[in-house]
């Protein structure tokens, strides 16, 4: 499934990728009804939320839904939208179905789950409070393309007072 909805992440697991995260809610194109290894062997769900009935507004299809997905949503079953996986040989993976809206990267929790996931996959110790980072509104505007492939005007170059 790939509908747009506001996922409400109320609980977080005991896993390095969840370090420093606090419950949060975020509107994105959250894919769900993911297929995992049999018995979830080596898989730990990191973010889970219950999709609203509005996610089933389209007819059945490869990216819209099917009777099983509709039944799960109707029952209010929680869906995994971020997870960690570890293979028996020690290889690691991180899945995250968000990231479709540029401005979401301005949210500390949204950004932290991805940064923590990158460290964990690389087998770097995730700090107790997660990866620290800051993003300003100006940071988010930098290099942002407008819709339709149009580019914004380049900002004026920054010059130091000594250069004048």
118-159 per-position pLDDT tens digit: 999 999 999 999 999 999 999 988 877 777 766 666 555 555
CA distance 127 to 120: 10
pTM of the model: 0.83
Q: What is the mean pLDDT of residues 92-118?
A: 95
Which strand ranges, in their side-by-side order, compose the sheet holding 43-49?
Answer: 43-49, 79-86, 92-96
pLDDT tens string 3-48: 888 999 999 999 999 999 999 999 999 888 888 889 999 999 999 9
CA distance 114 to 124: 14
């Amino acid at each position: 499934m790939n509908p747009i909805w506001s996922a409400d992440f109320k609980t977080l697991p005991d896993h390095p990728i969840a370090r420093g995260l606090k419950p949060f809610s975020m509107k994105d194109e959250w894919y769900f009804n993911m297929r995992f290894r049999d018995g979830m062997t080596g898989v730990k769900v990191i973010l889970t939320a219950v999709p609203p009935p509005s996610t089933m507004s389209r007819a059945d299809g490869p990216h819209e839904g099917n009777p099983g997905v509709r039944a799960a949503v109707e029952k209010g079953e929680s869906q995994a939208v971020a997870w960690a996986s570890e293979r028996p040989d020690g290889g690691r993976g991180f899945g995250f179905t968000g990231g479709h809206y540029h401005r979401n990267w301005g949210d500390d929790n949204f950004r932290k789950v991805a940064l923590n996931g990158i460290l964990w996959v690389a087998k770097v110790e995730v700090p107790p409070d997660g990866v620290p980072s800051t993003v300003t509104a100006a940071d988010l505007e930098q290099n942002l393309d407008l819709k339709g492939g149009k580019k914004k005007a380049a900002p004026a170059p920054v010059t130091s007072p000594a250069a004048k």
